[in-house]
Amino acid sequence: MTTSRREQLVVHALPGTHGTTVTARTHELTIDETTRYGGHDAGANPVEHMLAGIAAASLVVVRLLGEVAIADSAVLTVSATLNVDRVMGADDGAVIELIRLDWEVANAAHAERLRAALPDLASRRPGQALIDAAATVAEEVSVRASATAGLWCAS
């Protein structure tokens, strides 16, 4: 029996006058809320950073699944409907009501291969538990409009 590799990941967060400074290894991020929620809008908010992590992790796992061409050309938009009242303690519904992962790929062959890979992607994607915790999840794959723009008029 082989043992699985493990890697300890650590970030440090320090509150500042204009948001939170987070350091991951030698990389520094500023995380802040919009002025609407008392921040200075000096950086993306914590939930936007989580969505960015899901998007980036998704592309990394697609590459690990051997679909390098798809990972190199896909555009992934991750969006969520956040129940702000739940975060504020005024509601008991799901924190994230909807999370959407909208993939745009270069062509129909990429779309077919990516759709086939989605179950493997979900089983290996860091952050999948956040996706699974949403009340509603939608993950869709479409072919980039520019890739099909001239197809309908061909004779």
Q: Is it the case that residue 153 has pLDDT exceeding 70?
A: no
Q: Where does the pLDDT of residue 150 fall: very low under 50, low under 70, confident under 90, or very high at 90 and above?
A: very low
Token pair recorded at residue 62? 């697609």
Asked if residues 52 and 38 have their Cβ atoms less than 8 Å apart, the reply is no
CA angle (62, 66, 67) in 5-degree steps: 55
Q: What is the reported pLDDT for 151?
A: 47
* CA distance linking residue 48 with residue 146, whole number of Å: 28
For 51-79, the three-class secondary structure string (H helix, E strand, C coil) is HHHHHHHHHHHHHHCCCHHHHHHCEEEEE
Number of residues written out for the chain? 155
Percent of the chain scored above 70 by pLDDT? Answer: 94
pLDDT in tens, 40-98: 999 999 999 999 999 999 999 999 999 999 999 999 999 999 999 999 999 999 999 99
Q: Where does the pLDDT of residue 28 fall: very low under 50, low under 70, confident under 90, or very high at 90 and above?
A: very high
The torsion angle over the Cα atoms of residues 43, 79, 61 and 95, rounded to 10 degrees, is: 90
